[in-house]
Amino acid sequence: MRVAPHGGRVLEYTDKGKSLVDFSANINPWGPPLVLQEAWDDLFRYVSVYPPLNIDYHRRLLASLYNIPAGVILPCNGASQGIYLLARELPLQRVAICEPMFTEYARAFSRQGREVIHHFHFPGSDPARFFDLLFRQRYDAIVAGNPGNPAGTTFPEWLWEDLVERCDEEGSWLLVDEAFQEFMGEETSLSSHVLERKKLVVIRSLTKYYSLAGLRGGFLVAHPDLVRNIEGALEPWSVNALLSKALDLLASADLSFFHRTTREKLAEEKAFLEQGMEKPGILERLCSSKVNFYLARLKNENQGFFDFLKERGIVIRDCSDFYGLSDGNWFRFAVRARRENHLLLEAVKEYVRNKQ
């Protein structure tokens, strides 16, 4: 069986008890919020309890946590389940994906027999011209990231508004991945448009910002008509009991300290990493990022770069499976806490010294 290439696979990579520092998964290193950490021992008893079967239970909690109407929310077992649900249920034939993009979109639509067309937009190129060229063809759906993964960038606000309008005029679906939206701030989310745009769907994740990857949580935000039409196709018990209780705690807690400290620490660590990655001279490019990870390209062929880091207990994300980044020199690394970021920079410096 083919295993999809993703980051965050340290449980598979760990050998003989050796711990690895995981820069391949873009998870908030300062989460989960303290309210969950303090209640964790009590949450253990829910491993023996079935989760709520009524989807409104989770919908109500997510509405409270994100301050959006409950009727536009469809809870899922991570964003990935939502992606595959859309691929099954939406009446699509031709799907345009704004690359580079989370690879499960292409995989999900391809497996449903949809025609997937890749349009590569590299960070720094003219996004308006990119969409002018894209709209010269007719698509049933356009998939784009706000922000995109692995690039960590997004389009200007005015361009998103134009994209929403043009898709509406063309009668095309617009599927927007916002798995890392919280790191930018909710004011940049397109969720507020779904009540007026029936073919706009926003895909969200709980696992990144709240550091809950192991519990698998996500949700779709869409017009209530679409939510009602497709929620019956969602598998029962898609949200597990531990996440159900975690959502209950998060929705009732004051998370202002968590939000503030995450933003402050993230800014500090990004500055530390950006400065540190410049000094060794190993990178041809370090893409600017609005979130908690970076896309970078090595100056020369990697020559064992990934294995060198792994031998020193550090895992980064080889990006060669992303469309347009297949030359083997692109990689993505997450922003971690200071001690771990320091380890990464020291390992990169060591690699450079060994090659001199």
**What predicted TM-score, i.e. pTM, was given to this entire model?**
0.94
Task: Give tens-digit pLDDT for 194-250.
Answer: 999 999 999 999 999 999 999 999 999 999 999 999 999 999 999 999 999 999 999
Whether 211 and 191 have beta carbons less than 8 Å apart is answered as no
Residues 200 and 312 in one domain: no
Render 201-253 in DSSP notation, one character per residue: EEEEESTTTTT-GGG--EEEEE-HHHHHHHGGGSPTT-S-HHHHHHHHHHHHS
Task: Say if residue 1's pLDDT is above 60.
Answer: no
Residues 161 and 305 in one domain: no
Task: Give tens-digit pLDDT for 148-168.
Answer: 999 999 999 999 999 999 999
**Rg, C-alpha atoms of the chain:** 20
- 35 to each of 31, 154, 260, how far by Cα in Å? 10, 31, 15
Q: Indicate whether 313 belongs to any domain.
A: yes
Residues 161 and 277 in one domain: no
Structural domain span for residue 84: 34-252
Residues 194 and 96 in one domain: yes
Q: Taking the CB of residue 14, how many other CB atoms lie within 10 A of it?
A: 14
Task: Give tens-digit pLDDT for 73-106.
Answer: 999 999 999 999 999 999 999 999 999 999 999 9
Report the candidate in 209, 335, 320 with the shortest Cα–Cα distance to residue 274: 335
Domains of the chain: total:
2
Q: Indicate whether 196 belongs to any domain.
A: yes
* Both structure tokens of 158: 């005015």
Residue burial 290-315, b: 16+ Cβ < 10 Å; e: rest: bbbbbbbbbeeebeebbebbeeeebb
Residues 205 and 66 in one domain: yes
Q: Indicate whether 1 belongs to any domain.
A: no
Report the candidate in 321, 23, 65, 322 with the shortest Cα–Cα distance to residue 217: 65
Residues 332 and 208 in one domain: no
Task: Give tens-digit pLDDT for 280-324.
Answer: 888 999 999 999 999 999 987 777 899 999 999 999 999 999 999
Residues 207 and 293 in one domain: no
Residues 177 and 302 in one domain: no
